[in-house]
Every structure is written in structure tokens, then in C-alpha cells.
């Protein structure tokens, strides 16, 4: 009996050690001092975390988000890419005290960040506002993007670029707060970030023709972005493929992370076949 108790105690101790090691080994994405660093870019400091080695892969999160949005994706891609996860201007740990904010501004930030990091070009994954940023980056700095995967992006702010129910809620939120006098830095920043999606983006379909790189345009089949809008985006990018993810909402890369990671990786690896 004593031997059985001893063996049981040893098993329990080993289990706790294994659990502890597993938890300790998992990085806190977006708050990982070992991988994190600030880069001075265009008058602000962008917070980045770098994982893995290989060809550069830039990850761009959505509105109000941070690097942590890619917690389900970084471990997969870090096995074969140099993953560069960034807190966008005015998001996460990347502060920006100025009043204005635009997608063009952020796209220029990412291009400048790559220059500072001595990276000529990179693969790019963008989600939501990050998907818009990926498209803007490819338009404004075409030599910086090898291939891009953009999920949940829209080109303009209205009920054709965003599903009507969500756009109506945006209108309610805007009208409720538009006359508010914000006093704290956090309140001012949150309002600036909200307004980014209220007034922007404003991308013409014709502008998509300037994108040179192969592009994978993605959305969920019940995304915040109407499927028709996502189809329009893919149809107007010369080297684009379309993927509407079944049984998925806006966070395709989270709800279907395994499939998302594999499919995007396959797209990056395979040569582009002209349609």
C-alpha cells in the first residue's frame, strides 16, 4: 500500500511539473519581454515581438487589438518564418498622442519599420483593420510585400462595406459619443481608434489594380464584411485568390486557426499560377 501511495505521489508531482513547464514555455504574446522591442518609426515607437527564423512574415492586428490577436497563429508560423508581430500605432503598447489616425499613416509605419529592421520585403497577414493595412501597404509600398493574406477587410465605411446591422450599431455608438469631451489620454485614444473605422477606409476599387503581389482575400461566410464586398476586393486585385471560410464569423484566424494557418502557409509557399 505504501509503495502504491509513493508511486501515486510521484505521478502527481511529475504531472504538476509537466503542467508548470508547459505553462512556462508558452509566451505571453503581446507582453513578452524576451521577444519584445520598441523601434523608433516616424516619430513614434512601435512595439514589436519577433519569433522564429526564416523569411520575414509581418502580422497586423485589427481595430482596438494587439499582438495577442495572433496567439493561435504565431506558434505555427514561427516554425518556418521570422514572425514580426506589431502593435499598430495607437494600439497595444505602441503609443501615439497625436489627434489624427489613418490607414495610410499606419501602412507607412510598417514600411518604415521594415527599413529600420533591415528587411527588404515580407509576407504579410492582416486581420480586419490589419487586413486593410495589408492592402494599403501593398498599394503604397509594393516592393515591401512578397505575398499578402487579408481577412475581414473592407474598402469603405458604409452598409455595403460592413453588414447593415453592425453599421447601424456603429452609428448608434457614434451619435452617443460625438459630443463627449474626452479628458484622459486613454479616452482620447479610444475615440481616435473608433473614428478610424467610422470615417475610413476610403479605397477605390480601381486603386486595387496597383497591387503587384499575389494576394489571398479571406472572409468568413457570416463575417462583419458582406461576402459580396469581399468578392469585389478579390476581383479587382490582379493576382488574387478568394477564400470564403465556411461556418466562420469575423475572426477566421481564431475560429478556424488550424485550417487558416495551413491554407495561408500553402498560399505563401506555392508559386503563383496566373489565372
- Asked whether residue 48 is assigned to any structural domain, the reply reads yes
Number of independent structural domains in the chain: 1
- Asked whether residue 170 is assigned to any structural domain, the reply reads yes
Q: Apex CA 164: angle with CA 161 and CA 152, to 5°?
A: 40
- Asked whether residue 140 is assigned to any structural domain, the reply reads yes
Place of cell 481577412: 151
pLDDT at 65: 95
Residues lower than pLDDT 50 in the chain: 1-24
Q: Is the alpha carbon torsion for 51, 80, 264, 248 positive or negative?
A: negative
- Asked whether residue 171 is assigned to any structural domain, the reply reads yes
Q: How many CB atoms lie within 10 A of CB 17?
A: 10
- Asked whether residue 19 is assigned to any structural domain, the reply reads no
- Asked whether residue 57 is assigned to any structural domain, the reply reads yes
pLDDT at 27: 82
Contact 234, 209 (CB under 8 A): no
Q: Residue 40 corresponds to which cell in the numbers above? A: 523608433
- Asked whether residue 9 is assigned to any structural domain, the reply reads no
* Full domain range(s) for residue 189: 29-269
pLDDT at 271: 83
Place of cell 502580422: 59
- Phi then psi for residue 240, to 5 deg, are -110, 145
Instruction: Report pLDDT digits (tens) over 109-134.
Output: 999 999 999 999 999 999 999 999 99
Alpha carbons 155 and 80: distance in angstroms, whole number: 32
Q: Apex CA 77: angle with CA 71 and CA 242, to 5°?
A: 95
Instruction: Report pLDDT digits (tens) over 30-73.
Output: 999 999 999 999 999 999 999 999 999 999 999 999 999 999 99
The DSSP bridge partners found for residue 60 are 86, 126
Q: What pTM, to 2 d.p., does this model score?
A: 0.89
Strands 215-220 and 145-151: parallel
Of how many residues is the chain composed?
275
Alpha carbons 182 and 190: distance in angstroms, whole number: 10
CB neighbour class for 24 (10 Å; exposed up to 12, middle 13-18, buried from 19): exposed
- Asked whether residue 275 is assigned to any structural domain, the reply reads no
Alpha carbons 92 and 4: distance in angstroms, whole number: 51
pLDDT at 74: 98
CATH of the domain at 228: 3.40.50.1820
Amino acid at each position: 500500500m505504501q509503495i502504491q501511495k509513493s508511486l501515486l505521489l510521484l505521478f502527481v508531482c511529475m504531472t504538476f511539473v509537466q503542467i508548470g513547464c508547459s505553462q512556462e514555455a508558452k509566451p505571453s504574446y503581446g507582453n513578452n519581454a524576451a521577444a519584445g522591442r520598441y523601434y523608433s518609426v516616424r516619430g513614434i515607437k512601435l512595439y514589436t515581438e519577433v519569433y522564429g527564423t526564416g523569411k520575414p512574415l509581418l502580422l497586423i492586428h485589427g481595430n482596438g487589438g494587439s499582438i495577442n490577436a495572433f496567439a493561435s497563429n504565431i506558434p505555427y508560423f514561427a516554425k518556418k518564418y521570422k514572425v514580426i508581430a506589431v502593435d499598430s500605432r495607437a494600439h497595444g503598447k505602441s503609443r501615439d498622442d497625436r489627434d489624427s489616425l489613418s490607414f495610410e499613416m499606419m501602412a507607412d509605419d510598417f514600411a518604415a519599420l521594415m527599413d529600420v529592421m533591415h528587411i527588404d520585403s515580407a509576407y504579410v497577414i492582416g486581420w480586419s483593420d490589419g487586413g486593410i493595412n495589408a492592402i494599403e501597404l501593398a498599394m503604397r509600398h509594393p516592393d515591401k510585400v512578397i505575398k499578402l493574406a487579408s481577412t475581414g477587410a473592407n474598402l469603405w465605411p458604409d452598409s455595403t462595406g460592413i453588414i447593415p446591422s453592425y453599421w447601424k450599431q456603429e452609428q448608434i455608438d457614434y451619435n452617443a459619443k460625438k459630443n463627449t469631451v474626452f479628458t484622459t489620454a486613454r479616452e482620447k485614444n479610444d475615440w481616435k481608434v473608433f473614428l478610424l473605422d467610422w470615417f475610413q477606409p476610403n479605397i477605390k476599387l480601381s486603386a486595387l489594380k496597383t497591387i503587384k503581389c499575389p494576394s489571398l482575400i479571406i472572409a468568413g461566410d457570416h463575417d462583419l464584411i458582406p461576402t459580396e464586398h469581399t468578392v469585389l476586393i478579390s476581383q479587382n486585385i490582379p493576382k488574387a485568390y478568394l477564400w470564403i471560410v465556411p461556418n466562420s464569423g469575423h475572426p477566421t484566424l481564431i475560429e478556424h486557426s488550424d485550417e487558416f494557418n495551413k491554407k495561408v502557409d500553402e498560399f505563401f509557399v506555392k508559386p503563383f499560377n496566373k489565372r
